[in-house]
Chains A and B, each alone.
Chain A
């Protein structure tokens, strides 16, 4: 695939997302047909650009924190001084995978209250797991011969980590980040039920008020956002190689 062409698909999805976000109002006719009985057919409590922005903000803050913490924890647990924690961390990461995201989100609310903070914390916690698991798998999966040679050649711990371990584990780590972000885009939408305002809003409000047009508007944008981000990840240089 040539350099320019690989970005065509994600950019196409992104363009579609932007068109849908900015142009939702123009589609009033279509939604009028879906939801003939309602007075209002375009969700108007907040404009879609704001909702998209908030959605992205929450997901990216959680993702950045989850990457820092998750990759950091996995690196710590695979160093000599942290190796004692490895069995616990890896078991925790695999058990944690069975926690349904909704349940995690719901459990965060009693502790942290309503609003944006519990969502970020819940997304962070849930997003940590695939990142930790994949970083561990990536680091542990490196050919022991390579590690032995690296040490035998006299590379320091930091040099081995930066020049050997992280580059070799990068594709697996990136796959974990991709899973984490994709799940979190979906979970964040459910966050609309605990008082965060984002692309989940139109869906919840549509379901509550029986307005299918709202639901479709929210669902369409979230779907496009998820597909765009996922397809961006799949085109990152490291994701597909080797």
Chain B
């Protein structure tokens, strides 16, 4: 966009320098004798010596050099370098594992330095993608080499990695949790989609429903999730104790039933709001023209209003789904299962890598769903992507 500007790319330059400081100054890995004791941190120079550490500064300085003179060619080189450095992070872990871990019980933890550098490199990637005006798809494709490198390192050298150990200890359970998580999110979003669209249509017909409906949903959204899960506990427990067929279904104060109810409640507001706004916001001139051409009410709705509103409705589904992925994690507290279970188990046992095993996939899931539904919205928008 502002490629013609000849000065340094301040953003990339500052990201690079901060990342270099984090790389050299913070612990990149930690080694613990077993699962429970806290580990000892190791900086770069403590793993490969001061000379080696200085050598690892070289690619950073090259990156800074590209940022200093950001011609398009230099930015492309910087992009390649950033991807390579991202791919090198798992290799660094592998190297540390081979050098530092000797006892079979010992575990390798990922240090603040690596997390910081990972974060800053991803920011640099975003910045470069924006400056070079690359498509979203290409941006995602750039993550493939680092992922491949991570997979390779995990398979060959990273057995002592604590996160990996936690996963291997419960790989079956993990897949089950992912399944539960997705099932809860899917059912909640599906149910709220059906209910939400119905409610939005009713609101368009009866203004009274609109005011009351939005008032109610807004109020519901204000109540913290943990409180809503909690408040549903008592009535559902009472119902399951007193209504036989409900308890036969598995409804109880704890478990999937209150979780699902609360999830649907939360999901309704963004769903209804977007559907309603989308249907209302269709250019009245277009509707007028359609009616003027002799289309019937139903035809106008199905052939004009709905297709034009679809991208905004999808946007609502995207927001709802991302939100539901996070809320489902909280639902683990009331025994609904899912990835949140690992988080709360880990917190309970002070096993931080178990917490990561829950939190990281939730984060990735949210990002993935966001990206996929975002891309779908772009495609469905008349005129196609971007």
Direct contact of A and B (CB under 8 A): yes
Of B126, B131, B330, the residue contacting A102 (CB under 8 A) is: B330
Q: Which residues of B contact A84 (CB under 8 A)?
A: 9-11
Of A17-25, A150-158, A160-168, A217-225, the stretch lying at the interface with chain B is A217-225
Of B115, B234, B327, the residue contacting A34 (CB under 8 A) is: B234
Interface size on A, residues (CB 8 A): 44
Asked if A116 is at the interface of the complex by the 8 Å CB criterion, the answer is no
Query: Nearest chain A CB to B364's CB is how many angstroms away?
Result: 10
Asked if A2 is at the interface of the complex by the 8 Å CB criterion, the answer is no
Asked if B231 is at the interface of the complex by the 8 Å CB criterion, the answer is yes
Contact A85 B326, CB 8 Å, known A98-B370, A106-B359: no
Instruction: Name the residue on A nearest B7 (C-beta).
Output: A84
Does A206 lie within 8 Å of B230, measured CB to CB? yes
Query: Nearest chain A CB to B26's CB is how many angstroms away?
Result: 11
Contact residue range for chain B?
35 or more
Query: Nearest chain A CB to B35's CB is how many angstroms away?
Result: 14
Main secondary structure of the interface of A (DSSP, over half): helix
Does A109 lie within 8 Å of B352, measured CB to CB? yes
Of B93-101, B220-228, B242-250, B288-296, the stretch lying at the interface with chain A is B220-228
Does B123 lie within 8 Å of A212, measured CB to CB? no
* Bound Cα distance A200, B362 (Å): 22
Asked if B24 is at the interface of the complex by the 8 Å CB criterion, the answer is no
Of B147-155, B167-175, B340-348, the stretch lying at the interface with chain A is B340-348
In chain B, residues 32-84, which have Cβ atoms closer than 8 Å to a Cβ of chain A?
none
Asked if A193 is at the interface of the complex by the 8 Å CB criterion, the answer is yes
Of B230, B237, B325, the most chain A CB neighbours within 10 A belong to: B230
Does A203 lie within 8 Å of B230, measured CB to CB? yes
In chain A, residues 161-214, which have Cβ atoms closer than 8 Å to a Cβ of chain B?
182, 185-186, 189-190, 193-194, 200, 203-204, 206-207, 212
Does A100 lie within 8 Å of B10, measured CB to CB? no
Asked if B20 is at the interface of the complex by the 8 Å CB criterion, the answer is no
How many A-B contacts at CB < 8 Å in the complex?
141
Does B234 lie within 8 Å of A212, measured CB to CB? yes
Asked if A226 is at the interface of the complex by the 8 Å CB criterion, the answer is yes
Of A45-53, A86-94, A141-149, the stretch lying at the interface with chain B is A86-94
Asked if A1 is at the interface of the complex by the 8 Å CB criterion, the answer is no
Q: Which residues of A contact B343 (CB under 8 A)?
A: 102-103, 106
Asked if B367 is at the interface of the complex by the 8 Å CB criterion, the answer is yes
Contact A101 B326, CB 8 Å, known A91-B126, A109-B347, A216-B234: yes
In chain B, residues 325-383, which have Cβ atoms closer than 8 Å to a Cβ of chain A?
325-327, 329-330, 333-335, 340, 343-344, 346-348, 350, 352-353, 355-356, 358-360, 362-363, 366-367, 370
Contact A111 B330, CB 8 Å, known A84-B9, A100-B362, A203-B227: no
Instruction: Name the residue on A nearest B324 (C-beta).
Output: A100
Contact string against A for B residues 313-331, beta-carbon threshold 8 Å, 1 for contact and 0 otherwise: 0000000001001110110
Query: Nearest chain B CB to A183's CB is how many angstroms away?
Result: 9
In chain B, residues 245-298, which have Cβ atoms closer than 8 Å to a Cβ of chain A?
253-254
Does B366 lie within 8 Å of A212, measured CB to CB? no
Does A106 lie within 8 Å of B358, measured CB to CB? yes
Does A219 lie within 8 Å of B226, measured CB to CB? yes
Asked if B299 is at the interface of the complex by the 8 Å CB criterion, the answer is no
Does A204 lie within 8 Å of B237, measured CB to CB? no
Q: Which residues of A contact B229 (CB under 8 A)?
A: 219
Of B126, B253, B330, B340, the residue contacting A92 (CB under 8 A) is: B126
Instruction: Name the residue on A nearest B223 (C-beta).
Output: A223
Contact A219 B227, CB 8 Å, known A99-B366, A110-B356, A212-B234: yes
Q: Which residues of A contact B201 (CB under 8 A)?
A: none
* Bound Cα distance A185, B221 (Å): 12
Asked if B306 is at the interface of the complex by the 8 Å CB criterion, the answer is no
Asked if B135 is at the interface of the complex by the 8 Å CB criterion, the answer is no
Asked if B130 is at the interface of the complex by the 8 Å CB criterion, the answer is yes
* Bound Cα distance A219, B359 (Å): 24
Of B115, B127, B329, the residue contacting A103 (CB under 8 A) is: B329
Does B362 lie within 8 Å of A103, measured CB to CB? yes
Asked if B233 is at the interface of the complex by the 8 Å CB criterion, the answer is yes
Does B326 lie within 8 Å of A110, measured CB to CB? no
Return the 6 tightest CB-CB contacts between A and B, nearest first: A100-B326, A186-B224, A219-B230, A110-B352, A219-B227, A106-B359
